Amino acid sequence: MGPHKNSMIIIVISWILGVGIIGINVYYLITAFIGWLIHNSLPKVANVFIGIIVFPLMAMYILAVIYLTFRKDTVKTYIETRNDPIVQTHMEKGFVNPNGELEFGQVPYREDLADIPLPE
């Protein structure tokens, strides 16, 4: 995000709040399920089969949250032009060829913005 990047204080506070919220969600998910298993009126065999199905799903949920937390985004969403004054001038004034016509073929392509649906 270039100059619009969050400060280190905001990043640390966000991580602390995020880990706290995820921890609370996982805690209540597990305790609610175990409480339901203990206090339901199903036979013990049904409880075992439900546990065999639900606990791996919970583990997959937790692993998915961990994966999404630590994966790296590979899309470059910020185009740095400050180091090249010629590119900066062209970006500000538009790409104009010697005939005075705008050239749209030289505009940098951003994949993250290419498929955004327009409002209806």
Is residue 86 assigned to a domain?
no
Indicate the DSSP class of residue 116. Answer: P
Structural domain harbouring 7: 2-70
Is residue 40 assigned to a domain?
yes
Is residue 79 assigned to a domain?
no
Is residue 41 assigned to a domain?
yes
pTM of the model: 0.50
Name the amino acid, one letter, at 5. K
Provide the β-strand partners of residue 102. 96
Tens of pLDDT along the chain (120 residues)? Answer: 566 778 889 989 999 998 999 889 889 988 998 898 888 888 989 888 988 998 899 889 889 988 888 887 766 555 565 677 776 666 666 666 666 665 655 555 556 665 667 676
**Model pLDDT, residue 31:** 92
